[in-house]
């Protein structure tokens, strides 16, 4: 991505120089990987406006096709560098399922003279020792977090015959279904039915919503939580019929393991949703070759 020369953009305690591709906090350079800088550049160029995910990925990776996980990683790195990990965000606002918007006030200033910045002093042996202790403490903290949040309870069975799964809220293709809360009902019923399957661990809907709220893609969420598969799909109303499409997706390769289409009479919408949840759960069970219903 080419960065044309232009005015330095200032926001909060930060300054971004598009010519040098550098972000500063005061007179100190904030280290960022090139693609995270590119992402910041695009958001600042469109500050105050929503940048849709496809457009943002095209501008950051003009000569490559990438997954949303790469974009989510850049946003995460930016938020960490800017100290923007609270809710609501100070700088980068997430528009669920659409994109991102730089919301902080931005002003144009003069150019930054990188040569005038103070040189970074060489690391002192004592500082290296302190950094070593800090790194060891960070590894210990990471191990503790993994044990606390990602290691299954000792009361749950383990082994290669088990699978971990999350249900991604189904996309609504008919507005009247969304206003009636049909997708939410389908999601809750499907989670309930899947939870009854032996040797299948189902992530709670609140965990999925929390990752979505922070703009984390479902593929990245699956990797972070150590999941095996995701269930996703869409629901729409065609005349007097309710059509539900479901897909079982491998988290690691993002390939579709199986895809099914179901249709039900829409006269009794509650019954149709319950039947869809039950049928999808049965197909997932068969697709994963898991045990019988409890």
Q: At what angle do helices 68-82 and 34-45 cross, to 10 degrees?
A: 80
Low-confidence ranges of the chain (pLDDT < 70): 1-5, 110-129, 131-132, 135, 138-161, 290-294
> Which domains are present in the chain?
8-110 (1.10.10.10), 163-288 (3.40.50.10070)
Tell me if 108 sits within 8 A of 8, measured CB to CB.
yes
- Structure confidence by residue, pLDDT tens digits, 227-283: 888 999 999 998 899 999 999 998 877 888 889 999 999 999 999 999 999 999 999
pLDDT of residue 157: 44
pLDDT at residue number 179 = 76
- Give Cα 10 distance to the centre of its chain: 28
Cβ(186)–Cβ(277) below 8 Å:
yes
| Six token digits for residue 213 | 């709220």
How far apart, in whole angstroms, are the C-alpha atoms of residue 40 and residue 91? 10
C-alpha 246/C-alpha 261 separation (Å) is 7
Beta-sheet strands, E only, within the chain: 8-11, 14-17, 22-25, 28-30, 51-52, 92-95, 99-102, 107-109, 163-167, 171-172, 200-202, 229-238, 241-250, 256-265
Q: For the chain, what percent of residues have pLDDT higher than 90?
A: 37
Q: At what angle do helices 68-82 and 53-60 cross, to 10 degrees?
A: 80
- Which are the contacts of 30, defined by CB distance < 8 A and separation ≥ 6? 14, 23, 24, 81
Q: Both ends of the chain: CA-CA distance in Å?
A: 54
Q: What is the pLDDT of residue 262?
A: 96
Q: Say how far apart CA 137 and CA 143 lie, in whole Å.
A: 10
């Amino acid at each position: 991505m080419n960065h044309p020369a232009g005015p330095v953009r200032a926001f909060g305690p930060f300054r971004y120089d598009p010519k040098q591709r550098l972000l500063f906090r005061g007179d100190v350079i904030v280290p960022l990987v090139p693609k995270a800088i590119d992402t910041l550049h695009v958001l600042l160029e469109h500050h105050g406006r929503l940048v849709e995910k496809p457009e943002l990925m095209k501008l950051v990776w003009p000569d490559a096709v990438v997954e949303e996980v790469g974009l989510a990683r850049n946003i995460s790195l930016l938020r960490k560098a800017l100290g923007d990990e609270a809710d609501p965000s100070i700088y980068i606002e997430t528009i669920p399922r659409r994109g991102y918007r730089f919301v902080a006030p931005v002003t144009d200033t003069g150019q930054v003279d990188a040569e005038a910045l103070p040189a970074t002093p060489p690391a002192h042996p004592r500082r290296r020792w302190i950094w070593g202790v800090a790194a060891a403490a960070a590894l210990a903290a990471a191990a503790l977090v993994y044990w606390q949040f990602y290691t299954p309870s000792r009361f749950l069975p383990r082994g290669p015959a088990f699978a971990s799964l999350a249900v991604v809220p189904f996309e609504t293709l008919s507005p009247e279904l969304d206003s009636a809360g049909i997708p939410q009902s389908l999601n809750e019923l499907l989670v309930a039915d899947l939870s009854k399957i032996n040797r299948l661990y189902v992530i709670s809907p609140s965990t999925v919503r929390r990752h979505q709220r922070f703009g984390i893609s479902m593929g990245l969420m699956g990797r972070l939580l150590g999941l095996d598969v995701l269930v996703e799909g869409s629901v729409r109303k065609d005349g007097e019929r309710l059509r539900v499409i479901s897909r079982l997706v491998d988290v690691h390769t993002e390939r579709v393991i199986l895809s099914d289409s179901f249709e039900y009479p829409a006269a009794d919408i509650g019954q149709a949703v319950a039947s869809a949840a039950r049928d999808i759960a049965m197909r997932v069970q068969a697709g994963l070759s898991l045990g019988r219903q409890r």
